Chains A and B, each alone.
Chain A
Amino acid sequence: MSRLAEHFRRGSSFVWLSGTLLAFCLAMILGLVGYLAAKGMGYFWPLPLVQVQTTSGPVLGEITGQEAARAEETAKLQFHVGNRDVFGQDFRWIPTAGLPAAEYPKDAVLIERLEYGPFIGRITSLSHEGQVVAAGPTALPEALNHLAEAGRLRRHIHAVEKGDVGDLNQRMERLRLARRKLEANSDAAGLQKLDAKVAELQTAYDQLQTSLEQSRTQAKAWTLALQAADGQTKDCPLGSIVRVIPANDMTFFSKLGVYLSRLWEFVADDPRESNTEGGIFPAIFGTVMMVLVMSVLVVPLGVITALYLREYAKQGWLVRAVRVAVNNLAGVPSIVFGVFGLGFFVYGVGGGIDKLFFPESLPSPTYGTGGILWASLTLALLTVPVVVVATEEALGAVARSQREASLAMGATKWQTLWNVVIPSATPGILTGLILAIARGAGEVAPLMLTGVVKLAPAMPLDGTFPFFHLDRKFMHLGFHIYDVGFQSPNSEAAKPMVFMTAFLLLVVVVVLNLFALNLRRKLRARLGGSTF
């Protein structure tokens, strides 16, 4: 007993206990990152298509989850059966009890479509303009031959719709606004000229529409007749098929091919089916643009503040207080910045700009609504403390001897700063910037108030004048996660995609952070001293 008490008093077990807690923390982090990576990266690998006979008929699909037996609930398997247009639901839970052995039919295919999610079933035949070209086992290879061409046609249609038609629409809109202005000034000659221009555009538009219509009929020429596991049939034009995957009849390398092509689609394509399928390119692009604009804004703000605080201000209690206040801004909740951005930038400044420069399009706002400029400005404010702190530290670390050498040579204060101090502080400033970017890229709450949207009709950067549209709304990786995971009607089907988005965001933010922190650690090691 006394040995136990002694043992307790010396507390070696508590060392183990605290070690356990730390181990728990570490396991949590690594587990979380690993889980995200596995879930996200694994999503693109083609799963085998499993067919089982249940009492209510055959079920064919990918096995996406399982639940062990518990209390009154029996063990269950979750099947992704697809065919939303036929079955009404993508997933089915099937109790494992009494289930016969699973089959892996070779002729089962998973067909990714533009609409209604994937189709899982079998191909019965391929037809061209109503004539059956191939049936049975020959239909699949034949279809694969024509798929590439159909895809090209689809992309062409899409490009025309988005590029040329969108361009025409924008020009029309600009003419409409110009007309309102002219009408306000009652400029008859101008109006006539304008009408001619409108007519010209209208003919171009009509021509484009006819050629588009032709392409669309062409795209519908090839159709696949499909059959679901329970015997229901469905016709699907080849033009609306993204990919045909005979998952049970594939080599490792063809699976790898599918994996890579899906991965590429994810990072480089537009989203489909209200963001639950396709790619997230606009969100990646929006995030990058927003961060870039933020960087352009935050560096001068932060560096000038730090220069003032460290080099020009008279050091005293006031400057110390200001420094504490600026540092503490980093701890102010991001949503508060969002509220400020909404009230001040969007409604205050944006509303003012609209009244002054865009009165012809009122009451629909141009700058008086959320947009990439306001979001970036808000985030710049949010991250200014990070840059200020890093820059101040870097400025303080420049050796006194170097400054004094420069001053002793007769250089002015500014010359010393510009030629000696700032160059050696640059890595520190960069560290601050990278940390700011990492913080900014991961923030969502303030963006929700200042301009991020679920689906942006146009990118903030495109080919129409003035190319960079600061007033446009944009998509964002973080908001994409929130929106698809929590606001989407079909969030179960979209979950793997959200995992991938989350993983991508995580990788970007973590890599940026680690890079910046390593840089900072190296700088500090060079200078020595404690960080506390």
Chain B
Amino acid sequence: MSSNSSHQARAKRVDRIMAFSISTGGLLIIGAVLAMLLFILKESLPLFIPPQSRAAGTVQAPRSSGAWLDESGKTVVLASSTEGLKALRFPEGTPLSVPAGGPALPWRLATPLNPRGESLVISADGRLSLGRLAWSKPAGENDPAQWTLEPKWQDGGAVDSVPEVILHFRILEAGGLGGGSSLRILGLQQGALLWADSSLDAATPLTWKSIPLDPTLHPTAGLWSLDGNNLFVGTSEGRLLDLSPETGAISSSADFGEPIQSLGFVLGQSSILTGGAKGRLTAYQRVRVKEVFQLQAFHEFERLGGPVMGFQASQRDKRFLAWTRSEAVVDHLTTQRRMFSSKLDGPGFATLAPRGDLILQANEVTGALHLWTLDAPHPEVSFGLLWGKTHYEGYEKPEYVWQSTGGTDDFEPKFSLVPLIFGTFKGTLYAMLFAFPLAVLGALYTSQFATPRLKNSIKPIVEIMAALPSVVLGFLAGLVIAPLLEHMAVEVFIYPLVLFLLAMLIMPFWGRLPQPFRNGFGTGREVLWMLPVLILGVWVTSLAGPWLERVVMGGSYRVWLQSALGITYDQRNSVVVGFAMGFAVIPIIFTISEDALSSVPKSLTSASLACGASPWQTAWRIVLPTASPGIFSATMVGLGRAIGETMIVLMATGNTPIMDWSPFNGMRTLSANIAVEIPEAPLHGTLYRVLFLAAFLLFVFTFILNTVAELVRQRLRRRYESI
């Protein structure tokens, strides 16, 4: 008895343990599976975190006219006309050693250091020098005390006169072997523009050439274009000019609306930042509109409180720093977002570290240096950019563009999801156009007219269809159907018509056949009779197609499409995708529809037939409407499958993210885009997160579709039970 009871106790204990572990296990698994959604969302959310900035310290330093921040933010180099270069450790403020040498002090003229650490100096003895700063850091060494500053000075020869200010200089790296670099300098002297060319050769003296310009224009700022052949000049009349330095001929101009105070480039040197004397901040670009180059204002930023004193561009992305006497801001070109803004306590200048993550402001009166850090991992993406039109560099107008990577480092990434969503829906639409009629009418036939034996052999065939791996379908679509369609597009398009005519023609002949024969062999077995008709259709089409192409389209349908409709034909196009993806979707719609149609209560159909309706009338007017929620639900599930299908689209289209409804070109879908791009996406980079966002969207789309389908189906099931 006692052993029995201990046995029972053990059984109870096991029972409790199992109940507990299965419940927790089950809950955990369900939780984990549902947490997938949260994980994917979590990976994409940092895209929308606003930029964070923080004050990183203040240091007292001698007054200077320019500063260069190192990438690490641990050192700053100051340049001043009287004392030359000075290096400080940040944020302690302890001085670091600077090698002797360089142009003779005091400098008669010096440009502020740019983010690359370059400055042009005219020394006390009237010689031009180009200085480039660099820290030499032993590998793995993090202590700035162990670093050495290596300024490289290049002597550009004697200068015949010293202008009031140097507006801009550009280093032109010569191509080819042994090609040195040369320098183009733009200066301002008593309101007139001067320019000079220097081969950075100590022996050749520098001579200034003046630029003939309309005397009513008063230049205030200027920039060399990327190739050094053009000048962009801003005037106090508020005109931005694109002119040739040799002749002063103005090739295009734009009206800015207020006196231009300063000009600057964004990384890539094709967007011209324009700052007004009243704080207006606009980006211009030189873009070809209708075969003519124009200066076009394409981004407008939030106004600043006073005259914009200067710009500094990040060397990593499209953000830039602009400052006035009383504030410094960092804006992003593409998104026009203000990433950083800070009020200053006095007149001075500001500078941006090469990576754009550190901002230094120097007070000219007190000599205080303020440093801020700016943490913005994904500045190139904003909600508006993902969903709206954006005006990108080099584009005529705002557009939806997806182009995540380019050939150069200064490439502007374009992350609009709209072309991808468009592509997804385009592919889905063509697939449904093909699949829906075939699947629903096929299911109607199978459920209402086919004999039970036929029905039992149709269903396994459809199951085979459902089991076909999508990679096999995609392979066939890309390598067999696409070339075939290209070859016989006309035939493929008239084949359905031929089949329809044949099906309609057969009926009158069929009616003449004796009734017993019809009942014995025909009714319920029409499908089998139609199989040879399909082959007949192929034969008819193969005759009619070339004839049609010759007579109506003048020999070649591609030429005809191009000339008559203005459509170009791509080999891997939407028709191919529609066909292959339709093939994948048909069995899904077919199976669910067939279930719904077969489950329509017998009483309804019998009543209809008893009232004298023909079988087709019963099927069309009674069965189909009754089962329509089931067919709706089948369509939703099919849609879900088509939206998420990856391999077929990847293999059967050219994967170009264009927005065009034409059936003869391709598309890029959300899913194929993920498959194409995620292997190249750096972990936790912007592209990586945008692709996770795309995956999240796919998840949500399909989940909603499937849930709606399931709810509709459950409701229909209850309705059938109540009839």
Tell me whether B595 is interfacial, beta carbon within 8 Å. Answer: yes
- Is there an interface contact between A347 and B646, defined as CB atoms closer than 8 Å? no
A506 to B599, CA, bound (A): 32
- Is there an interface contact between A513 and B464, defined as CB atoms closer than 8 Å? yes
Instruction: Give the residues in chain A near B711, CB-CB below 8 Å.
Output: 324
Which chain A residues numbered 134 to 150 have a C-beta less than 8 Å away from chain B? none
- Is there an interface contact between A71 and B556, defined as CB atoms closer than 8 Å? yes
Instruction: Give the residues in chain B near A304, CB-CB below 8 Å.
Output: 22, 25-26, 29
- Is there an interface contact between A21 and B651, defined as CB atoms closer than 8 Å? no
- Is there an interface contact between A328 and B707, defined as CB atoms closer than 8 Å? yes
- Is there an interface contact between B526 and A16, defined as CB atoms closer than 8 Å? yes
Q: How large is the interface on A (under 10, 10 to 19, 20 to 34, 35 or more residues)?
A: 35 or more
Interface of A is mostly: helix
Tell me whether A30 is interfacial, beta carbon within 8 Å. Answer: yes
Tell me whether A532 is interfacial, beta carbon within 8 Å. Answer: yes
Tell me whether B441 is interfacial, beta carbon within 8 Å. Answer: yes
**Contact A513/B36 with A23-B527, A308-B23 known, Cβ cut-off 8 Å:** no
A360 to B528, CA, bound (A): 68
A411 to B29, CA, bound (A): 28
- Is there an interface contact between A443 and B469, defined as CB atoms closer than 8 Å? yes
Tell me whether B695 is interfacial, beta carbon within 8 Å. Answer: yes
Tell me whether A307 is interfacial, beta carbon within 8 Å. Answer: yes
Tell me whether A485 is interfacial, beta carbon within 8 Å. Answer: yes
Instruction: Give the residues in chain B near A18, CB-CB below 8 Å.
Output: 441-442, 444-445, 449
**Contact A331/B706 with A11-B617, A21-B441, A381-B33 known, Cβ cut-off 8 Å:** yes
Tell me whether A29 is interfacial, beta carbon within 8 Å. Answer: yes
Instruction: Give the residues in chain A near B464, CB-CB below 8 Å.
Output: 29, 33, 510, 513-514
How does the 8 Å CB contact mask read for B353-382 relative to A, with 1 for contact and 0 for none?
000000000000000000000000000000
- Is there an interface contact between A339 and B678, defined as CB atoms closer than 8 Å? yes
Say how far A34's CB is from chain B's closest CB, in angstroms: 12
Instruction: Give the residues in chain B near A527, CB-CB below 8 Å.
Output: none
- Is there an interface contact between A333 and B472, defined as CB atoms closer than 8 Å? no
Instruction: Give the residues in chain A near B479, CB-CB below 8 Å.
Output: 485-486, 491, 495, 498
Partner of B691, one of A24, A331, A339: A339
- Is there an interface contact between B620 and A23, defined as CB atoms closer than 8 Å? no
**Contact A27/B534 with A309-B26, A513-B463 known, Cβ cut-off 8 Å:** yes
Instruction: Give the residues in chain B near A384, CB-CB below 8 Å.
Output: 29, 33
Which chain A residues numbered 291 to 327 have a C-beta less than 8 Å away from chain B? 301, 304-305, 307-309, 311-313, 322, 324-327
Say how far A303's CB is from chain B's closest CB, in angstroms: 9
- Is there an interface contact between B445 and A21, defined as CB atoms closer than 8 Å? yes
**Contact A72/B707 with A21-B437, A28-B583, A304-B26 known, Cβ cut-off 8 Å:** no
- Is there an interface contact between A13 and B679, defined as CB atoms closer than 8 Å? no
A478 to B647, CA, bound (A): 10
A164 to B228, CA, bound (A): 63
**Contact A24/B586 with A72-B556, A339-B678, A340-B36 known, Cβ cut-off 8 Å:** no
Tell me whether B705 is interfacial, beta carbon within 8 Å. Answer: yes
How does the 8 Å CB contact mask read for A1-20 relative to B, with 1 for contact and 0 for none?
00000010111111111111
A305 to B32, CA, bound (A): 11
Instruction: Give the residues in chain A near B26, CB-CB below 8 Å.
Output: 304-305, 307-309, 312-313
- Is there an interface contact between B27 and A308, defined as CB atoms closer than 8 Å? yes
Instruction: Give the residues in chain A near B710, CB-CB below 8 Å.
Output: 324, 327-328
Partner of A70, one of B14, B27, B446, B546: B546
Say how far A413's CB is from chain B's closest CB, in angstroms: 6
A121 to B476, CA, bound (A): 32
- Is there an interface contact between B702 and A326, defined as CB atoms closer than 8 Å? no
Nearest opposing residue in chain B for A306, CB measure: B26
- Is there an interface contact between B616 and A313, defined as CB atoms closer than 8 Å? no
Tell me whether A482 is interfacial, beta carbon within 8 Å. Answer: yes
Nearest opposing residue in chain A for B591, CB measure: A531
Nearest opposing residue in chain B for A309, CB measure: B26
**Contact A19/B526 with A335-B675, A340-B36, A513-B463 known, Cβ cut-off 8 Å:** yes
Say how far B436's CB is from chain A's closest CB, in angstroms: 11
A506 to B472, CA, bound (A): 7
A530 to B546, CA, bound (A): 50
Tell me whether A242 is interfacial, beta carbon within 8 Å. Answer: no
- Is there an interface contact between B646 and A445, defined as CB atoms closer than 8 Å? yes
A502 to B480, CA, bound (A): 13
- Is there an interface contact between A513 and B33, defined as CB atoms closer than 8 Å? no
Instruction: Give the residues in chain B near A7, CB-CB below 8 Å.
Output: 507
How does the 8 Å CB contact mask read for A501-532 relative to B, with 1 for contact and 0 for none?
01001100110111001000000000000111
Tell me whether B438 is interfacial, beta carbon within 8 Å. Answer: yes
Q: Can you give 13 A-B contacts (C-beta < 8 A)?
A: A10-B614, A16-B510, A18-B449, A21-B442, A301-B29, A308-B27, A334-B646, A336-B698, A343-B43, A384-B33, A486-B475, A502-B475, A514-B467
